[in-house]
Structures are given as structure tokens and as C-alpha cells.
Amino acid sequence: HKHLLGIEPLAPHEITMILDLAERYVDLNRGHAKHGDALTGLTQINMFFENSTRTQASFELAGMRLGADVMNMSMQASSIKKGETLIDTALTLNAMHPDLLVVRHPHSGAVDLLAQKVNCAVLNAGDGRHEHPTQALLDALTIRRAKGRLHRLSVAICGDIAHSRVARSNILLLGKMENRVKLIGPPTLMPSGIAEFGVEVYQDMAEGLQDVDVVMMLRLQKERMDGGFIPSEREYYHRYGLDAQKLAHAKPDAIVMHPGPMNRGVEIDGTIADDINRSVIQEQVEMGVAVRMAAMDILARNLRATPQEVMA
């Protein structure tokens, strides 16, 4: 693949290959000399048209640790504010010969469109409700490390599924790796036609969490609810917020995940989020750097490959 735009086009063996390489970068990141040379000489530009803490910081660190020249475009200060379109902005940057473009955008499909207009490799850092592939890969690595495998697990994804690109990418990835995926949330936050993705749908946390290995909590994405129904936080926490009582329905060794940013007391109780025996939320962040190093390393190998190697 020239780009990483989503989980959808990836084959299971490609997912495994990225995770295996990321494992090596976990070891590198835990050492005192955190430098590799997979991206030496390459230029990486990060363009975030939406707020980010984890994804932007980890893409930046990942690029720096592998020797790339990394530039973060400040989209608030860019000429987008003067009416320049996304494509014109991308073509302008393209003329400066970047090798890797990391893009987050509020509109689904915007990153795919941009990838068609530029010469470099594009990595999707989250587009609207569509996909967030590196999040699903870092979640997969976290699960594989905690459970020792990434197949035949029962995984509950809970909350605002309808507006979540994290849920969509995870549903695709976990399905490809032959896991059982249970979606739990109110009908107003469940996308129509979701059962076609081979998932089970529940409205009740106690029922849906029964015997799961992994509990993945999601934030209410109010910024994407554009005038639609927004549940009251208090009512939502009562029915869908993860607390000890609801978690007791999962397997005793079930892990708790959250992609962040987290709203304590809305979708998750702070005590559960901080419980190092159950929560792997900080490990997810750690895996984020390693997975992004692996993804960029693999795309850089493709950039450097001769046409004959690409054909092979």
C-alpha cells in the first residue's frame, strides 16, 4: 500500500506485520537510546484540522525517533483561515516534497481525497466518523499484549458508536482477526445497518458485557451530534457509564480500554480508569507511538522500493 487511509483495505497478515514491527519499537522506546534510522532523510508533515493530544504528539515523536524531519503545520494559523481549500493547501505543501503527510480532518473521506492529489504517502490520523486506523492498530497491539492473542476474543465496544471513527476502525480490525464484537449503547447512538458488519448489538450494559475479555469505552462525541439528540450526562452515566457494578459482568480478568480523551464520570468512573489491574489506558498511549513508528517505517520502505520491488 502507498498510504494508510483505513483498516478496510488491510489483510489480516498485513495487520500482524505492522503489530510485529511495532513490538520491536516498544522495546526501542523503553530503552535509553530511542533512535532508529528508518525515516532518515525523509520529511514528515503533520496537518491536524481537528484538535488532538495523543495522535499528534505520538506521530511527532514517532517521526523524530526514526530520524525524519518533522514539521507540524499549525492549521489555526494557516491560510485555510483566509479561504484556501484543503486541496490547495495540500498541493502547496506537496510542492515542498514531503515524503509522509499525516492528516486529521473533521470530514469523512477528506483524507482519501487529499491522498489522490499528492505524491507522498498519506496517513489518516482520523477523518470524521470514517476511520482512525492507527488507533485501531494501537488498540490491537494493546489487546494482543494483554491477552496473548488477537483472535477468538470477546470485545465489547460501548457508548457513542454512531459518531465514532475509533469504533468503526476497531470493528473492521477485530472482525478481520476473527473476534466476537459486541456493541453496547443507546439506540440513538447506534448506526443503522451496523449488524451487517457481523457484530452483535445490545442496549443493556449488564447483558452486553457478559463474559467479555475486553471492554472498550467511548466518549460522547458531542461535536459530531450537529443539533441531534444529546443525552443528559447524568442519565447517560447511570445507564452506560462503566462502574465496578457493570464491569463485574465481564470476565474477572477483562481489560478496560479508552482511546481518550476521557470524560470521567460520564462514560467511565475515574476509579476504574485509574485501576492498574484492569485499565490499560496508559499502555494504549504507549503503544500509539510504537504503532505509528511501524506504520511510517513500512510506508517509507515502499517509498524507497524500486518499481521492480513494488511489482514483486
The answer to whether the annotation marks 55 as part of a ligand binding site is yes
Identity of the residue, 126 or 185, whose beta carbon is nearer to ligand CP in the bound complex: 126
Map residue 214 onto helix, strand or coil: strand
Residue labelled with grid coordinates 466476537:
180
Q: Hey, which residues does 122 pair with through a beta bridge?
A: 101
Distance (Å, rounded) from C-alpha 63 to C-alpha 121?
14
Q: Binding mask 90-129 vs ligand CP (x if CB under 6 A, - otherwise)?
A: ------------------------------------x---
Q: Which of residues 126-145 bind ligand CP (CB under 6 A)?
A: 126, 135
- Residue range at the interface with ligand CP (CB under 6 A); choices 50-58, 176-184, 232-240, 263-271: 50-58
The answer to whether the annotation marks 278 as part of a ligand binding site is no
Q: Residue of minimal CB distance from ligand CP?
A: 55
Closest distance between ligand CP and the C-beta of residue 57, in Å?
8
Interacting residues of 263 by C-beta distance below 8 A, sequence separation 6+: 219, 220, 233
Distance (Å, rounded) from C-alpha 147 to C-alpha 144?
5
Phi, psi (deg, nearest 5) at residue 23: -55, -40
The answer to whether the annotation marks 104 as part of a ligand binding site is yes
Q: Binding mask 244-273 vs ligand CP (x if CB under 6 A, - otherwise)?
A: ---------------xxx------------
In one-letter notation, the amino acid at residue 280 is V
Q: Would you call 104 exposed, middle or buried from its count of C-beta atoms within 10 A (0-12, 13-18, 19+)?
A: buried
Distance (Å, rounded) from C-alpha 274 to C-alpha 283?
12
Q: Which of residues 55-84 bind ligand CP (CB under 6 A)?
A: 55
Annotated binding site: 54-55, 82, 104, 132, 135, 165, 219, 260-261
Contact positions vs ligand CP (CB under 6 A): 52-55, 126, 135, 259-261
Annotated binding site for carbamoyl phosphate: 54-55, 104, 132, 135, 260-261
